[in-house]
Structure formats: C-alpha cells, structure tokens
Structure 1
Amino acid sequence: MNVQRFLAPTSREAMAKARSVFGDSAVILSSRSTGGGFEVVATAEENLDQIAAQRLTPRPQAVSETPAVGGRRSLQERAELQRPVLGNSQSSVEQDTETLAMSTLSFQDYVRERMLRKRREALGQSVQAPVAAQPRQREAVVQPRSVMPTPDHNRPQQAASRSAQAGTGAPSAVEARLTGELNALKDMIEERFNTLSWLGNSRQNPIQSNLMLKLIRSGYSPAVARAVLERMPPELSAADAFKWTQEVLTRNLKTADASSSLCDEGGVYALMGATGVGKTTTAAKLAAQCVKAYGANSVGLITLDTYRVAGYEQLRSYGRMLGVVAHLAHDAAALQDLLNLLSNKRMVIIDTAGLSQNDPRIADMLELLASPKVKKLLVLNAGSHGDTLDDVFNAYKNADLYGVILSKLDEAPKLGPALDTLIRHQAMLRGVCTGQRVPEDWQRPDAAALVRLSMGTTAKSAYDPQSSELGLFFSQPVTNPVTLDAWHV
C-alpha cells in the first residue's frame, strides 16, 4: 500500500506536495502540526479499496469447544480460547489506527471529491443517453405505418429544433446550468475547506490566534492578516511573534527616503484626491517648506479648482502669507503657459479640484496632467474606511502615481486601514499630515513608527470583533487577496 508522509512549513504546502505525488486522486488520511512543520499522511484514491477491504476482513473466531461441567470452563481453557482473538483484535486496531487515522477535515475533503466525481459521471451519462437514442428514433421514423398519424402542427417546428441542435452540437440549457452549478459548488467547497483548515491550525496556536485578533481590531484586512501570519515561524514566543509581525509590516510598507524631502527633489507636483481630504492645506505646507529652505522665489503655485467656491481664494491667502503668487489655470492651454512661465522655479505645486472616486471627470483631469514632467501625488484621508481607500486607488489606477500623502492622521481612530491599503497596492508614501497648522503639521514618513502607532491602539470600538467571531471574517472568499511578488519577512 502506497502511503506516504509529507512535511512542510504550512498545511497548504504539505497538501500541495501530496497532490504533486498522487495527482488529483490524492486523499489525505491524517494531518497534524509538529515541531518541524505540518505533517500530512496521504495516499492515492485507488488504494482506498484495499484499505477498506483490510478493514472489512472478518476476524478469525476462536473454535468453540464443549463447555466443562455445569457450563463453565477453567481459567486456563478460557485463556487458551481468548488468546488468538485478542491478538487479532490488537493487530486490527493497530492497522486501523495507522491506515484510517483520518482527521475530520481530511475525511470531508475525501467525501467532497468523491461526491463531485460521482455527479460528473452522472452528468456525463445523462448527456450520452439522448445521443445514443437518436439512431433508434431515426429508424422509427423511416419505418412505414399502416395507420394514418394524427396531424400535429407543432411537429415541423420540433423537428427543426432537433435538427438544429444535432447540427450545432451545442449543450442544452439544463446541461449548461448543471455544469455551472457544479463548478460553483466545487469552488465554494474548496474555499470553505481551505479556510476551515487554516482556522483550525490557527486555533491550535494561541499566539497566532491572538495576533490575528489584534490585526483585525487594528483595522488590517483579513487578507493582509492571513498573508502575514501564514509566514510566521512557529517557534516564536508571544513577545517575539508580536515584534516579528510589526517588522514584517514595516518592511512591506514602502516609504520615501528619510534623508530627502519633496522640496529637495524639486519638480512639478500635482495634488489629487477626493473632496475634503486637505489638498490645498497640503499644498501650502509643501510651499512653506520650500520657502523656508530656498526662499520665496523658489516656489510656484497653480490651482485648477474652478468648481469649489473660494477655492482659489484659499490658495491665494496661503500664498500671500508665504510671499508667493498663486495662479489660476482654466484649461490645458493656460496650464501649459503657466508651467512655461514658472519653469525656473525649484518647485511648482498644482492644486486640483476635489473629485469623488466615482466622478467621470477624473479621466479629464488625468488627461490634463498627462505631461511626463508632472509628478502626481494622491492625497488620502487616513481616517477613511478601507473600502473607500480601495475605491480611490482603483479610480486613479491609470494615473502613474509618483506617491501618496496621508492627511488627517490626527482625526483617524485607526491607521490600520490606511497602511493596509498602501501595503496591498504597493504605493510609495511620500509624506504625512498630522494637523491643520502650516507648516508645522507635516512629517516625513517613518514606516516603523506608523506601524507601531497602528498596532498600539487601545480604543474600544463597536466594530471590534471578539475572538469567537473571527470565523465570520475568514469564512468568506477573499475577493482581494495579497499577491505581492515577494513578501519581505
């Protein structure tokens, strides 16, 4: 009997090794977590009949003998009669324990695969049956009849429909529906069993379970929490595991070099984002830093905000405070003229109109800023919901972003959703706004400090899950999995 053991760091890798050896017919007999990793015992499906036959083989019974006087046997006689029976029972138990030690999850995998295979075979037989019956139907039509048939006005249409179906060979609507339902059922079962397997392993490790709860309460998505914890070494203590998790998040959060700032780099920067995220205030902070470092003549201010009432006046007010003139561009031609006029400036900042992530005018604005020398910076509200931040990134996915600026950190109850979005989209963080003061409330990004701040929150929220509710987060399919080319662990 070909039964093999496979050892890997995770259950998914161990099961993948089993499938690589036995193929699609692989059946998991047992699985357990060991000090060296996750161990899986597997065999091929064709070996199951042999295992079942060994289990169902009748055990040899002791030969009945004539009882002693009074229906009683001596202790020695009973011991002789019971010895072979006990020996066979013990060997059978050992064999069952070795070959049929299926866990609940492994047995469910086996039942699922057998059920799907039987339904496919039944579907194939139902498709072949009408095809085999077609020649007999044609022969019956050719045979002469002695009785005149009853006229049927629908018969020509039915014959035409049958001939069209036979000519095209297209499956019927029922067959297509059954095929779709089987595929959907297969995908759902595979996702549920993979999730249950991962949750079962996590619950066996209290350190991993507590870290998972901590990440979810801090605002990180289940996709990132699962991607991080699947790579955590199993031998770490609680303190080391928490430190390791923070270090992994820090390494995967891309931030600009702390030795240089945007005004040191210079160039033309366009600030984009939704309404009310603080683009104009951020423009004033960047301009103030450049004025402080290189003088008022080193900065140029341009606004494209012709929609918001007093939007231009707000930028002009900041400009007067800094000794910088703010210009208004109504169209692409005016913007190009102003860029040519301010080409000798070290830093030119373009403040754009705030647009919702669902506004179709975003495409027009990106076309207006399509010049390769314009560096596009996306301003995000750090207190926004994770789904909202995802929508914003999807709206600007064709913008060729130079980086991201997180604003309103002082208003964000949790930083987890914002950092989670930056990690999943692999966006470069260029700056952080911590308030409304110009230019004091501006900081260069520090990945380690931001991760510690996100994981150190102690505020209680009505949206925080309990440990018993984590299954609700991981029982649904992951619609946006983390597919980074290389996780830095």
Structure 2
Amino acid sequence: MKIKRYQANDMRSAIRIVRNELGSDAVILSNQRVGDQTEVIAAIDYDESLLNDSLITKDVLLSTSSDKNRDKLNNDLKYTRNLQNNVELNESDFILPEKVEKDLITKIEAELVEKIEKGLTKKLKQDTNIVKPNVDVPAVPAMTDMKKQIKELRSLLITQLSGISADNEKNNNPLRATVLKKLIGFGLSHNLANKISDYTNTNKDFEYNWHHALALISHKIKVTKDDILSSGGTIALIGATGVGKTTSIAKLAAQFILRHGKDSVALISTDSYRIAAHEQLRTFSRILNVPMYVATDSKQLKTVLNVVRDKKLVLIDTAGLNKYGKNICSDFNEIHGKQAISTYIVHAVNSQRSVIDDVCNSFSNVNVKACILTKLDETTNFGGALSVCIEKNIPVAYFSDGQKIPDNLHEAFSHSLVSKNVALMQEFKRNVKKYKTPKVDNGIVSHAHG
C-alpha cells in the first residue's frame, strides 16, 4: 500500500493533487485543517495477498454500506436525473464542497479504508517471522468485490455532489449559472458550456455576457472557405445512412457546373449495399448531363479514377455506414484507404448530439478534412452538431437547409451558423408560447386554446 500526505490551500486543490499523483483509484484516509492549510492523507495500491477471507468478508462490506446510506444516495441520484437536458457531469465538472467531503466521502470511503488498513497492520504483525513460499497468491474474492463496491459508491457520490454543486453555483455566482444554462440550451455539451461560461464577467449584465459567449462559440468554429467549389479535387462524402450524402453531391455538382462548366465534373458511386443504390445518383447525373461511374471495390475505383483524372471535380458517393457494421467499415477502408481522396463527413443536424458524436467516433480511423451539415430546415436547434465539430476539431465546409438543387447549399461562416441557431431557438420559443394548456372546469375542457 502507498500512503502519502498532501497539503493545499483548500480541499478542492488537495483532491486535485491526489488525483494527479495517485490516479482516480486513490482513496482519502483523513483530512484536517493545519493552520491555514488543508492536510489530506491518501492511499492507493493495496497488497491483495495480505488479505484473506477471514480478514475482509462481505459482512465488513455490508456494514460500511448501510441501507441508510444507500437510500440517501439513491434519492439524491433521482434528483440529479431531473437536471435540465439530462446533462452528464464528469468528476472534473463540479467543485467539491468541503463540508460534503467531510460528511460523505470521509464517512463512507475513509471508514472503509480505515478498516482495511487495520486489518493489514494486524496481518503484517502476525506474519513478521513467517517465511512465505515463492509462489503467486491468488487474489482474495472479497477484495475484488470490495473494489467494485467502492467504485459504485464513488459513482453515486459524484452524482450526489453534482446536484449540490449546481445549487451552490446558483447561489454563489447566479450570473455564470444563468449563462451556463443558456449555453446548454444552445445545444453545447456540458463540458464545452462550462469552459465558455468561465469567461463570465460579473461586472457586466447578462446581455453582455450572453453575446460574449456567442462570440466565443463563433471563434471556436472552424470553416474551410468554400474549398470544394473553388478548388475542386477528388471528394468522398461519408456518414450515416439517410443524412443526405447523395443529395449533397448533386448540390455540389450543380453549383460547380454553374461556375466551371459541365465538362469539369464526374460522379462515382461505391454504394453496393443498398438495393438500386446507384439509381438516385444516376438520375442526378442525367439531369446535370455529367458522367457517372460505379466502383464496388478498390480495383474498380482505381480504374475509374484513372478514367476521370482530367476532371476538375470528382465526387464519390459512399454507402451509409452503420457504426456497428465492422465489415462494411473494413470494406470502406479497403476502397478508400490507398487513394488520394479528401473525405468530408455529412451530419444531419436533426440528430441528437450523442448520435453525431458516435458517428464521428466510428470514423476515427478516417482522415476527415471537414464536414457538411444537412437538414437545418428540419430542426429547432443544431447547437449539438456545432458542439461536436468544436470538440472534435472538425471544420464546417457547407450547410444545407432544404431539398432544392442547387439553391439550398451554402458556404459555412462561423458567425452565420451561430446566428442561425439562435434564430431557430427564438422562433421555437415563440411558437411554444402560442399554445397554452387548456383550462379545465369540473373535469371539462372549457376551450381549446386557453
């Protein structure tokens, strides 16, 4: 076991030092004030071979995790589930109050660790003069169960403390709490919203801080400055099924033809997984009067790329890849992995932020140059997509807000994206106010519009 003493200005700083040096599995044995400093004793790395079934049993575990504590933690857990937007908080996202540290963490975790240490000390004294054989001692099952229980208790404590921290934030810094709430309503992840709300100026009013926060969001969004339509190249669009890849290709091709002529564009489809997958792109090619080719493997794609090497813009349509379809992903890498192709990922902004984040993770092995946001006309808030682009450091190239070809594809500007999302939020809020709850008189609805 490794036991170490730390001193810091406050409990929060002390816990941060413990976490950085000993890791997230460290436990606090005690804490006290020493002058103007907070002293913490922490420990990690228990020697499991020193314990046996008689030393640590499930009775010890149950005695420290009483029904009373579990009921309290479960009730607090229910409270935190009702936080706005079901935001998931990480351990680093909240400030641990000193009182809560003493009342909860010391009472549960430190009490459990104290019993473990007493048992270890007793066992070490008994075995001082015993020569142990040079063999591997199997791990004590009770120790494994105990570690699992400690992790569960820690998770419950984090959830409970997050609710207390949120209340303290509202009381101690109501302006920052209001800005944070507004940013989460904008669609940002809690982590990103916390970082931006840290710039809240308490000497200014909410209106100033809100506009300043929007400016920070705009500054964090990267754009590509119309690179496809101005420079051309060999472009592949990837993304989940139904996000609008094929329609986006048609819009890009149509706008490029208006600038550079129809002889400068060629279309390629690599989608061999859907029935009649090529027909939609073939229909677009006939309307636009540009050549269209089909390549179902890397060999065919190499041949087709050689045929269209004189074209200024080559657009490649791909199959909608499901994040669980490992076979399809491997086929995609086989087709595109060795080709000089710029890859753009297409996101439908009417999807949840977690879904967009998962799609990005499923393409983590692909070198994505930028993204195209689609279906802005089918959502009331696309801040979640912007949040993912900021956190994944993915530039935004274009956005689409309708089905018209080529009119509804626009070059992305960071400030216009932020302004458009704010306008959508305000429009949605106005529409909600139009509908009032019907009044009920003696169990009968008096009128339909309130």
Equivalent in the alignment of 2:356: 389
Report deviation, 1:216: 2.7
Give 2:37's aligned residue. Answer: 43
Corresponding position: 1:340 with 2:340: no
Q: Give the SS at the match of 2:322.
A: coil
1:414 aligns with 2:381: yes
Q: 1:329/1:372 Cα in 2 relative to 1: closer, same or farther (>3 Å)?
A: closer
Query: Which of the pair has more CA radius of gyration?
Result: 1
The alpha-carbon distance between structure 1 residues 309 and 16, as it changes in their structure 2 partners (threshold 3 A), is closer
Q: Secondary structure at the match of 2:380?
A: coil
TM-superposed deviation, 1:312: 1.8
Contact in 1 for aligned 2:265/2:314 (Cα 8 Å): yes
Q: CA deviation at 1:436?
A: 0.9
Task: Give the SS at the match of 1:365.
Answer: helix
The residue that corresponds to 2:146 in the other structure is: 178
- Counterpart code for 2:169: N
Read off the aligned partner of 1:110 and give its amino acid letter: K
Match of 2:122 among 129, 144, 165: 129
Question: What TM-score results when the alignment is normalised by the length of structure 1?
Answer: 0.65
Identity within the alignment, %: 25
Correspondence 1:380 to 2:374: no
**Closer/same/farther in 2, CA of residues 130 and 249 from structure 1, 3 Å limit:** same
Cα gap change, 1:195 to 1:13, in 2 (>3 Å): farther
Q: Does 1:443 align with 2:410?
A: yes
Residues 274 and 354, structure 1, Cα contact 8 Å, conserved in 2:
yes
SS in 2 for 1:311: coil
What secondary structure does 1:339 align onto? helix
Quick one: distance in 2 between partners of 1:183 and 1:28?
Answer: 27
In the other structure, the counterpart of 1:434 is 401
Q: 1:142-161 maps to which residues of 2 (within 5 A)?
A: none
- What is residue 102 of structure 2 aligned with on the other side? 110
- In the alignment, the residues of structure 2 paired with residue 121 and residue 297 of structure 1 have an alpha-carbon distance, to the nearest angstrom, of 78
- Quickly say closer, same or farther: Cα 1:275–1:216, change in 2 above 3 A: same
Quote the offset at 1:177 in angstroms: 2.7
In structure 2, the CA distance between the partners of 1:385 and 1:245, relative to structure 1 (3 Å rule), is: same
- Aligned ranges 1:78-477 → 2 under 5 Å: 105-112=97-104, 114-115=106-107, 116-130=109-123, 132-133=125-126, 167-182=135-150, 184-186=152-154, 188-189=156-157, 192-193=160-161, 196-197=164-165, 199-257=167-225, 260-360=226-326, 361-456=328-423, 457-458=425-426, 459-460=428-429
Tell me, in whole angstroms, the C-alpha distance in 1 between the residues paired with 2:208 and 2:236.
42
Q: Tell me, in whole angstroms, the C-alpha distance in 1 between the residues paired with 2:332 and 2:19.
A: 51
CA distances 1:446-466 after superposition (whole Å, capped 9, x unpaired): 1112112223413259x9xxx
Shift of residue 239 of structure 1? 1.2
Root mean square deviation, CA, Å:
3.5
- The structural deviation recorded for 1:228 is 1.7
Q: Kindly indicate whether the alpha-carbon contact (under 8 Å) linking 1:271 and 1:378 is maintained by their aligned counterparts in 2.
A: yes
Deviation at 1:195? Answer: 6.2
Q: 1:117 to 1:42 in 2, by over 3 A?
A: farther
Q: Provide the rounded CA distance (Å) in 1 between the counterparts of 2:304 and 2:387.
A: 38
* 8 Å Cα contact 1:296/1:323 also seen in 2: yes
Contact kept, 8 Å, 2:176 with 2:198, in 1: the verdict is no
Whole-Å separation in 2 of the counterparts to 1:28 and 1:237: 38
Q: How far does the alpha carbon of each residue in 1:110-154 deviate from its partner, in whole angstroms, 9 at most, with x for none?
A: 344644444323202223434544689x9xxxxxxxxxxxxxxxx
4+ residue runs of structure 1 moved beyond 4 angstroms? 4-7, 11-20, 24-29, 130-136
Deviation at 1:367, TM superposition (A): 2.2
C-alpha displacement of 1:212 = 2.4
Distance 2:363 2:272 in 1: 21
Q: Are the structure 2 counterparts of residues 311 and 182 from structure 1 closer, same or farther at C-alpha, using a change threshold of 3 Å?
A: closer
- Structure 1: segments with no counterpart, 5+ residues: 30-40, 47-103, 139-162, 464-489
- Match of 2:241, SS? coil
Q: Distance in 2 between matches of 1:366 and 1:393?
A: 15
SS at the partner of 1:404? Answer: strand
Distance 1:232 1:372 in 2: 47
Show the counterpart of 2:56. Answer: none
Q: In structure 2, what is the Cα distance between the partners aligned to 1:214 and 1:298?
A: 47
Change (3 A) 1:183 1:384: closer
TM-score (norm 2): 0.70
Residues 298 and 334 of structure 2 are in contact (CA less than 8 Å); yes or no, is this contact kept in structure 1? no
Give yes or no for contact 1:268–1:347 (8 Å, CA) kept in 2.
yes
Q: CA deviation at 1:409?
A: 0.9
The aligned length equals 358
Deviation at 1:418, TM superposition (A): 1.1
In 1, Cα distance between equivalents of 2:312 and 2:128? 85
Partners of 1:382 and 1:135 lie apart in 2 by 66
